[in-house]
Amino acid sequence: MWSVPRGLSTAMMYSFAARGDCTVWDAPFYAAYLEYTGVNHPLRDDVLAMHEPDPDVVASICKGPVPGGNTMFYQKHPALHMLAQFDRRWMRSCTNVFLIRHPARVIASYAKKREGTTLDDVGFVQQAELFDEVAGWSGQAPVVIDSDDIRGEPEAMLRKLCMAIEVPFTRKMLHWPAGGNEADGAWAPHWYAAVHRSTGFEGAEGPLPKLGGVYADLARQALPYYERLVAYKL
């Protein structure tokens, strides 16, 4: 599941974890991304100390077999973590799905957690590039699902998603226990407070947030990449 930050990606991971037949992995390449870029993210030292920084090791696990003896392996991948220098051949062993969210919503949420947000930080360019890459070698557009649609109609959209990726839907996906998941990465204390309070998908979102200054400009830059994928959404 290739997503942008603050894009409902953690809730989706919790949803699949609640199935009972699915192992989940939270941002597998995060430590490798931090190691290779040197970027200063919240809890950077903890992430590097607690998670695998070698992208080749991570890729080998992503290919399977599924850890824990389950039948499904859900990997939550922020698109910006998949750097150009990382070997991507492992992706061909997986079903690649793209989780999108409107840039205005992403940027408004991200800016509350980390100042100085840039286009690279929010991952829209990287997400579109990965979409094109998967479409190129697979010969067809990969599955795209919009977080706004999921929040508006959780059961209907999860049913559509499960049908598209050929796995059975279960209503267990609609709810999870409050307090987080054992698969949460070391970064969870900074980023996951709201989803840790949740027990299911929140209701439909309201109007788009109004952004000003550099954030409004950033949203305008990101919008064309989002709109390219919107054309393919379920």
What does each of the 234 residues of the chain score in pLDDT, given as a tens digit?
999 999 999 999 999 999 999 999 999 999 999 999 999 999 999 999 999 999 999 999 999 899 999 999 999 999 999 999 999 999 999 999 999 999 999 999 888 887 778 899 899 999 999 999 999 999 999 999 999 999 999 999 999 999 999 999 999 999 999 999 999 999 999 989 999 999 999 999 999 999 999 999 999 999 999 999 999 999
Q: How far is 188 from 10, CA to CA, in rounded Å? A: 10
Q: How far is 73 from 95, CA to CA, in rounded Å? A: 10
Q: How far is 22 from 110, CA to CA, in rounded Å? A: 28
Dihedral of the CA atoms 203, 207, 210, 215 (nearest 10)? Answer: 60
What the chain holds in terms of domains, given with CATH numbers, is 2-180+211-230 (3.40.50.300)
The reported pLDDT for the residue numbered 117 is 81
Closest among 63, 120, 109, 55 to 90, alpha carbons compared: 63
Q: What are phi and psi of 90, to 5 degrees?
A: -60, -30
**Region for 45 from its dihedrals, namely left if φ exceeds 0, alpha if ψ lies in -120 to 50, beta otherwise:** alpha
Q: Is 65 exposed, middle or buried (0-12, 13-18, 19+ CB in 10 A)?
A: exposed
Q: How far is 227 from 158, CA to CA, in rounded Å? A: 21
